[in-house]
Amino acid sequence: MKNVSWFLALLLGALLFYGLSSLPPRNSPILTDHVSSRYVERGEAETGIHSIWVAVLGDYRSFDLLAVSVLFTVTALGILAAGAGTAKTFPILPGLLWLGLGTALSLGLGLLPLKNDGNFLDFEILAFWTDPHRARSQGALLLMAGALLCLAGLLSLFVRRFRSPEGGK
């Protein structure tokens, strides 16, 4: 494996060197910024969210944030699974509760617009229960809250598992 590792590292190094030196410079006329520039120029007007970060993370690319929430959940379930069925090792309910709340919030925000003919995660449709101008910003913030709840659940389970005396079984 050690000989293979040197070969693979050299291969990757050569590839990355080739790629990095072939990248067009930042001010090159061939670079198009049509995606990012729209976020900056029209993000606040389209989403009602002042912060471009929140607009991109919580609205334009909300599906990515949902995927990360699911990743947190799956990792937490893996932590549960690795020790399941042995003698009771650590309390799991607090962590599971955070995870459940976070997942319910995230998936709920995605599914709610479907009821009113919107697309999945289309926060514009949430205008039926809040101020239309704030629907997107509130949706984005709630989605981020959902992701943070899932992260809290993961960290809670991780810390409890790590500190449990039977963590090796």
Partner 1 sequence: MSLFQALILLLCVVGFHGVFFHSSLGRKVFSWVLLQAGLVTFLFSLAPGGPALPKVLAVLAAAVTLSVGLGLTLLCRKFWKQYKSLDENDILKRVPK
Partner 2 sequence: MREHLPALLIVIPLVGAWLALAISFLSHRLSRWTAVAALLADLLAVLDLFPRLSAQGDWHYSLGGWAPPWGIELVVTPFSAFFAALLLVTALFTSFYLGSHGLLAGLPKVRESLGEVLLLTLVPGLLGMLWVRDGFTFYLFLQFSVVAAAAWMACMTRQTGPGVFYFLLWGSTGASLLLAGFLFLYASTGTLNFGDLLAQLFIFKNYPIALTAGALFTLGWTAIVLFPSPRAYRPLFGQTSPFLLGFLSSVFVRTGLFTLFLFFFLVLDVPGLSQPLGLTVVEYVLIYSLFLEFFVAARQKDFLHSIAYLSVAQLGYVFAGFALGNKSALTGALMELTTQLLVVAGFFFIAGSLSSGGGSLPFSRMVGLARSRPLTGLSLVIFAATIVGVPPTGGFFGKWYLVLGAFEKKDWVLLAGILLTVLFNFVYFFRLILLLYGHRSAAMARPAVTLFFKAPILALAAGVLLLGIFHLEIIHHFIEPALPKAFQNLPVPNVPFLGKQVE
In one-letter notation, the amino acid at residue 169 is K
Regarding 161 and contact with partner 1 (CB under 8 A), the answer is yes
Which range of residues in 34-42, 87-95, 101-109, 119-127 is near partner 1 by CB under 8 A? 34-42
- Nearest Cα to 59, choosing from 144, 118, 146? 144
Closest to partner 1 by CB, 59 vs 122, is 59
Residue 50 burial by Cβ neighbours in a 10 Å radius (0-12, 13-18, 19+): exposed
Contact predicate 147/68, CB 8 Å: yes
Binding partner at 156 among partner 1, partner 2, none, C-beta below 5 to 8 Å by kind: none
59 in Cβ contact with 47 (< 8 Å): yes
State the binding partner of 30 from partner 1, partner 2, none, CB within 5 to 8 A by kind. Answer: partner 2
Q: For the chain, first and last CA: distance in Å?
A: 29
Cα→Cα distances 129→38, 123, 133, 156, Å: 28, 11, 12, 33
Q: Which residues bind partner 2 (CB under 8 A)?
A: 8, 11-12, 15-16, 18-19, 22-24, 30-36, 38-39, 59-64, 67-68, 70-71, 73-75, 77-78, 80-82, 84-85, 96, 100, 103-104, 107, 110-111, 113-114, 118-125
In the list partner 1, partner 2, none, the entry touching 158 (Cβ below 5 to 8 angstroms by class) is: partner 1
Burial of residue 59 (number of CB atoms within 10 Å: 0-12, 13-18, 19+): buried
85 and 159 in contact (C-beta within 8 Å)?
A: no
Residue 2 binding partner per list partner 1, partner 2, none, with a CB distance cut-off of 5 to 8 Å that depends on partner kind: partner 1
What, of partner 2, partner 1, none, does residue 32 touch, CB below 5 to 8 Å by kind?
partner 2
- The residues in 48-87 that bind partner 1, with binding defined as CB under 8 A, are 52-53, 56-57, 61, 64-65, 68, 71-72, 75, 78-79, 82
